[in-house]
Structure 1
Amino acid sequence: MLHLILFSITVGITATLVFDLWKYATDRLRGRSGSPWGLIGRWVLGLGQGRWRLDQSRRDPPGRAETATGWIFHYAVGIAYAAMLPLFWGAGYVAAPGLWPAVIVGFGLTTLAGLCLLTPAMGGGMLARNTPNQAQRIIETLQNHAIFALALYMGARAFA
């Protein structure tokens, strides 16, 4: 059991870090400031108060606790996705990781969760329909999550 926990933590953090480095680089190339982890932290903290959607009326910048919460949530989710690999495909996945499980979880599931859960919760609507450029948002989400899936697989291979 300890081996599976270590796998999940190591592979989840590694894949999330690769995702973040990719996103940081592509955001810089596009002239963007990066992911709004402070706002995501604000949303996460609001869940405890029964708010399922980010309060869009607030205009104050996220505080330190909100930003820290957002980052912790982001990496905890990455660890949870890594844990799904041996959970769904058995403990043998740790010793002999396959590409398709990493693609199913790291690309398919994460993309659906991002576009159908997180984006609506942040005010972007289902499948980013309330964003200024829905098609671009979906394409970038697909690209980013393909990198996460590849990093999940490569991290699992390195761990094995």
Structure 2
Amino acid sequence: MGALGLVAHILAIGVLATVAMDVWAVLLRRVFGIVPLDFAMVGRWLGHMPAGRFTHAGIGRATPVRGERALGWFAHYAIGVAFAAGWVGLAGPAWLASPTLLPALAFGVVTVVMPFFVMQPALGAGVAASRTPNPTQARLRSLMTHSVFGVGLYAGAWLVRALVMSTNG
């Protein structure tokens, strides 16, 4: 597989794994009434960075940023693609030819360090959601969501591989 093919595979797998997370969030909301992360708040956080503001006591109280929802959703998918690139970089191209679930799931679980130690503290929720009303629940939700991302990496790789094989005869 050439460099362009590899980039296309990574892009597709990252998008599909992120879609899996979003489907999971919709399921949690519809079945259990659990409100997902508002990606506008991620966009607001990113939108304040050019002015040198990287952390907030409470991102919901920060000044809104024009286009924050679109920026947040774009960042959500860009991060998913970046994580997919990191996974393929670690696993190697051989994993793309023969994807396996457990290593991808383990990688998805490991990615939870980013919200625990970067995003949640920066948005005002504290390290590993320690400043939220129910930190244990928030931590478990993050862990489940990132586990779904890991499963999505595997499913996305399997789907891309199947599509490539079917178009190549």
TM-score by length of 1: 0.89
Within 5 Å, which residues of 2 pair with 1:116-135?
116-135=117-136
Change (3 A) 1:2 1:127: same
Aligned mates of 1:117, 1:90 — CA distance in 2:
27
Q: What residue in structure 2 maps to residue 25 of structure 1? A: 27
Aligned mates of 2:97, 2:18 — CA distance in 1:
21
Aligned mates of 1:48, 1:121 — CA distance in 2:
15
Amino acid at match of 2:48: G
> Structure 2: 5+ residue runs without aligned partners?
162-169
SS of the residue corresponding to residue 51 of structure 2 reads: coil
Within 5 Å, which residues of 2 pair with 1:1-160?
1-54=3-56, 56=58, 59=61, 62=64, 65-108=67-110, 110-160=111-161
CA distances 1:59-105 after superposition (whole Å, capped 9, x unpaired): 48856610000000000000111111221222222212233431232
Q: CA RMSD in A?
A: 2.0
Change (3 A) 1:58 1:143: closer
Aligned mates of 2:63, 2:37 — CA distance in 1:
14
* Number of matched pairs: 159
Aligned mates of 1:106, 1:54 — CA distance in 2:
27
Q: Which moved more, 1:70-79 or 1:133-142?
A: 133-142
TM-score by length of 2: 0.84
SS of the residue corresponding to residue 103 of structure 1 reads: helix
In 2, are the aligned partners of 1:38 and 1:68 still within 8 Å (CA)? yes
Aligned mates of 2:87, 2:35 — CA distance in 1:
32
In 1, are the aligned partners of 2:59 and 2:124 still within 8 Å (CA)? no
Q: Which moved more, 1:49-58 or 1:69-78?
A: 49-58
Identity %: 33
Shift of 1:52: 1.2
Aligned mates of 1:136, 1:159 — CA distance in 2:
34
In 2, are the aligned partners of 1:42 and 1:66 still within 8 Å (CA)? yes
Change (3 A) 1:116 1:154: same
